[in-house]
Amino acid sequence: MHIHKFEKIWLVFGIATLVFFLTVVGVSAFYLGNQPPSCLATVDVEKVDTQEPFNKPGLTKVEGKEWDYQLVYVASAFSYNPMKVEVPLGAKVKVIATTKDVIHGFEVAGTNINMMLEPGYVSEFTTTFDKPGEFLVVCNEYCGTGHHLMYSTIEVIE
Using CB under 6 A, which of the segments 3-11, 33-41, 85-93, 135-143 binds ligand CUA? 135-143
Which residue number, 119 or 132, has a Cβ lying nearer to ligand CUA? Answer: 119
DSSP 82-134: SSEEEEETT-EEEEEEEESSS-EEEEETTSS-EEEE-TTEEEEEEEE--S-EE
Dist. CA 13–CA 135, nearest whole Å? 57
**Interaction of residue 104 with ligand CUA, rule CB under 6 A:** yes
Single out the residue of 59, 116, 150, 156 in contact with ligand CUA (rule: CB under 6 A): 150
Site for ligand CUA contains 147 (CB under 6 A): yes
Find the shortest distance in angstroms from Cβ 78 to ligand CUA: 6
User: Looking at beta carbons only, is 74 or 156 nearer to ligand CUA?
Assistant: 74
94 binds ligand CUA (CB under 6 A): no
DSSP state of 27: H
Mention every residue, 6+ apart, whose C-beta is less than 8 A from residue 93. 59, 67, 68, 69, 70, 71, 87, 126, 127, 128, 129
Residue 23 CB, nearest approach to ligand CUA (Å) = 34
Instruction: Say how many residues touch ligand CUA, by CB under 6 A.
Output: 9
With CB under 6 A as the contact rule, the residue among 139, 152, 154, 156 that binds ligand CUA is 139
The DSSP 8-state label assigned to residue 53 in this structure reads T
Residue list 24-53, contact with ligand CUA (CB under 6 A): none
The Cα–Cα gap between 42 and 130 comes to: 30
Cα 75 to Cα 130: distance, rounded to the nearest angstrom: 25
Contact positions vs ligand CUA (CB under 6 A): 78, 104-105, 139, 141-143, 147, 150
